[in-house]
C-alpha cells in the first residue's frame, strides 16, 4: 500500500524526470530511512541515475546526535550509497541570531542540501515530509495566523520534492516494522516543549475524534488553497509590472480587489525597502486606503509608508528638525532649514489691496519701539487667528484645511510675536495686527530666495 502511494505521488506530480539524480535528506529517523529504502527499491523503475544521501548533525542531543550521524553513514554503506555529512551547533547559532532553534535548523538544513546538490549537479532534493506532517504544518500556521503557511507545503517546490505526501505517519512506522527496517528514535519528538509536538500529541488526536479522515481533508484543502494562492500571486505580479514607482496613485490602484492589492503591497514594500511587512501592517495599509487626509504607518525604525490624499509612498523616517530664530526690525537672517532669507523692515507706504494676495511679503501694524519676533517650528497647542475672523483655531486644523502634507507641517516655519502667530511663512498671514489706511507703524517681512 505505502509503495503504491509513493509511486503514485511521484507520477501524479511529475516529481522525477528520467535519468535524474536524487539527493535524500536523511536524519536517521523512521521517515527519512523508509524514504531511502523506497528510493533504492524503485531506483530502476523510476529511471533514477544516482541516489545520494546528506545528513546534517545539529548537535542538539549530545551523544545521540553523533550516533544518528554514524547510523546514517553505516546505512549509506550498507545500501551502497554515497553520503555527505556536516556538523553545526544549531543552538549556538540560534542564540547568536536570537531566532528559534527550529527556524535556524530548517534554514541551515536546506542551505546544506542545496550546496551538495549544486556541487554534484543533482537535480532533485527529496525530503521525508508526509501527509501527517502536512496536517501538523497547516494547523501550526493556522494557530499562528500565518496565511501563507496555512496551505502547508507542495509536493514539489523548485528542486525540492516530497514523494511521501500521500502517506500517513502510522503507515510509515508499520512499513518499517513489517520490513525489519532499523532506524533511530529521536526522543525530542516525544517532548511537548516544542509547539509542533504539542500539536502532534494533543491537538491532532482531538481533531481526529471529530474527523477521522482529518489528514486527507486537510490535503484537499491544501490543494485548493494552493490553486487560489498561485492565481492571486500571478495577478499581484502583473500589478508589480504596472506599478513599480516608489509613489503610487491610489485612484488607479483602488479598482483592484483587496485580495490582490495586499499581496501587491507586500511585494512592492519588499522590493523597495527589503522589509517584509507583517500581516498587521498590511491590514493597516488596507484600512488607510479609504481614509481621508494624511496617514502614516511605521514599517521599521527607519522606514514608513505614507498616504497623502490620493497617493501612497515610502519614506525614510526623519526626525522633525526643530529650529528657532530671533528677528528684529532691519534684520535679514538666513533660515538654513528652508534655504531662504527673511528680511524685516519698516515702511510708510503700502498697497493694502495688493497685500491681500501677497504670500512672499506680509505687513503688520505693531506699535512697539523695538519689537522682537521669533521664527520657529510649530508647537503643541499652537493656535491661529484666520484673517477677518474673531475666533482662533488650532494651527494643526488650519494646516490640514490648507491640504499641507503632514510631513511638511512638522517643519513649516511660522512667524511669532508675543506668543501670537503672525504668519505661516509663505502660506497665510493671521488676523492679528492688521494694517489699515491710517497705520503709522507698519512692519513688513519678506521672503528672499537664495
Summarize the annotated binding site as residue ranges.
27-32
DSSP annotation string for 356-379: TT-SSEEEEE---SS-EEEEEE--
CA atoms within 13 A on the CB side of 280: 5
Residue with cell string 546538490: 117
Angle at CA of residue 400, ends 399 and 404, nearest 5°: 65
**Residues contacting 242, CB < 8 A, separation 6+:** none
CA atoms within 13 A on the CB side of 424: 26
Name the DSSP class of 369: S
Give, for 87, the enclosing helix (H) or strand (E): strand 82-87
Distance, in Å, from the CA atom of 266 to the CA atom of 281, rounded to the nearest integer, reads: 10
**Residue count (the chain):** 450
Give, for 160, the enclosing helix (H) or strand (E): strand 160-161
Distance, in Å, from the CA atom of 397 to the CA atom of 46, rounded to the nearest integer, reads: 73
**Residues contacting 350, CB < 8 A, separation 6+:** 363, 435, 439, 442, 444
Answer whether 91's CB lies under 8 Å from 35's CB: no
Could you list the residues known to form a binding site for ATP, using ranges.
Answer: 27-32
Amino acid at each position: 500500500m505505502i509503495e503504491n502511494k509513493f509511486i503514485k505521488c511521484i507520477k501524479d506530480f511529475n516529481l522525477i524526470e528520467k535519468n535524474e539524480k536524487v539527493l535524500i535528506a536523511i536524519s536517521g529517523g523512521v521517515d527519512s530511512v523508509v524514504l531511502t529504502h523506497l528510493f533504492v527499491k524503485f531506483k530502476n523503475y523510476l529511471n533514477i541515475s544516482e541516489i545520494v544521501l546528506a545528513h546534517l548533525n545539529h548537535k542538539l542531543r549530545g551523544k545521540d546526535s553523533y550516533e544518528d550521524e554514524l547510523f546514517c553513514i553505516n546505512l549509506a554503506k550498507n545500501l551502497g550509497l554515497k553520503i555527505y555529512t556536516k556538523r553545526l551547533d544549531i543552538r549556538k547559532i540560534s542564540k547568536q541570531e536570537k531566532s528559534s532553534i527550529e527556524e535556524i535548523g530548517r534554514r541551515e538544513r536546506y542551505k546544506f542540501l542545496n550546496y551538495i546538490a549544486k556541487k554534484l549537479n543533482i537535480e532533485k532534493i527529496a525530503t521525508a515530509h508526509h501527509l501527517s506532517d502536512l496536517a501538523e504544518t497547516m494547523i501550526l500556521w493556522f494557530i499562528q495566523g500565518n496565511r501563507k503557511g496555512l496551505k502547508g507545503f507542495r509536493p514539489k517546490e523548485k528542486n525540492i520534492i516530497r514523494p511521501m505526501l500521500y502517506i500517513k505517519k502510522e503507515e510509515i512506522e508499520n512499513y518499517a516494522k513489517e520490513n525489519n527496517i532499523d532506524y533511530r528514535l529521536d526522543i525530542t519528538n516525544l517532548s511537548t516543549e516544542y509547539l509542533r509536538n504539542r500539536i502532534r500529541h494533543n491537538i491532532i488526536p482531538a481533531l481526529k475524534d471529530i474527523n477521522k479522515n482529518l489528514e486527507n481533508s486537510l490535503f484537499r484543502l491544501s490543494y485548493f488553497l494552493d490553486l487560489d494562492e498561485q492565481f492571486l500571486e500571478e495577478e499581484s505580479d502583473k500589478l508589480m509590472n504596472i506599478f513599480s514607482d516608489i509613489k503610487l496613485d491610489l485612484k488607479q490602484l483602488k479598482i483592484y480587489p483587496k485580495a490582490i492589492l495586499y499581496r501587491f503591497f507586500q511585494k512592492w514594500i519588499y522590493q523597495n525597502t527589503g522589509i517584509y511587512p507583517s500581516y498587521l501592517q498590511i491590514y493597516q495599509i488596507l484600512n488607510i486606503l479609504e481614509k481621508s487626509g494624511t496617514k502614516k504607518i511605521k514599517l521599521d525604525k527607519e522606514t514608513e509608508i505614507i498616504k497623502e490624499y490620493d497617493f501612497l509612498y515610502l519614506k525614510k523616517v526623519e526626525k522633525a528638525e526643530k529650529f528657532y530664530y530671533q528677528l528684529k526690525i532691519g534684520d535679514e537672517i538666513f533660515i538654513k532649514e528652508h534655504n531662504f532669507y527673511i528680511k524685516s523692515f519698516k515702511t510708510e507706504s503700502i498697497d493694502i489691496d495688493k497685500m491681500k494676495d501677497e504670500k512672499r511679503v506680509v505687513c503688520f501694524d505693531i506699535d512697539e519701539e523695538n519689537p522682537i519676533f521669533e521664527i520657529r517650528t510649530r508647537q503643541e497647542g499652537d493656535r491661529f487667528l484666520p484673517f477677518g475672523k474673531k475666533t482662533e483655531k488650532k494651527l494643526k486644523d488650519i494646516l490640514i484645511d490648507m491640504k499641507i502634507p503632514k510631513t511638511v507641517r512638522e517643519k513649516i516655519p511660522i512667524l511669532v510675536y508675543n506668543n501670537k502667530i503672525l504668519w505661516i511663512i509663505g502660506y497665510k498671514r493671521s488676523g492679528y495686527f492688521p494694517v489699515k489706511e491710517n497705520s503709522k507703524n507698519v512692519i513688513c517681512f519678506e521672503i528672499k530666495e537664495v
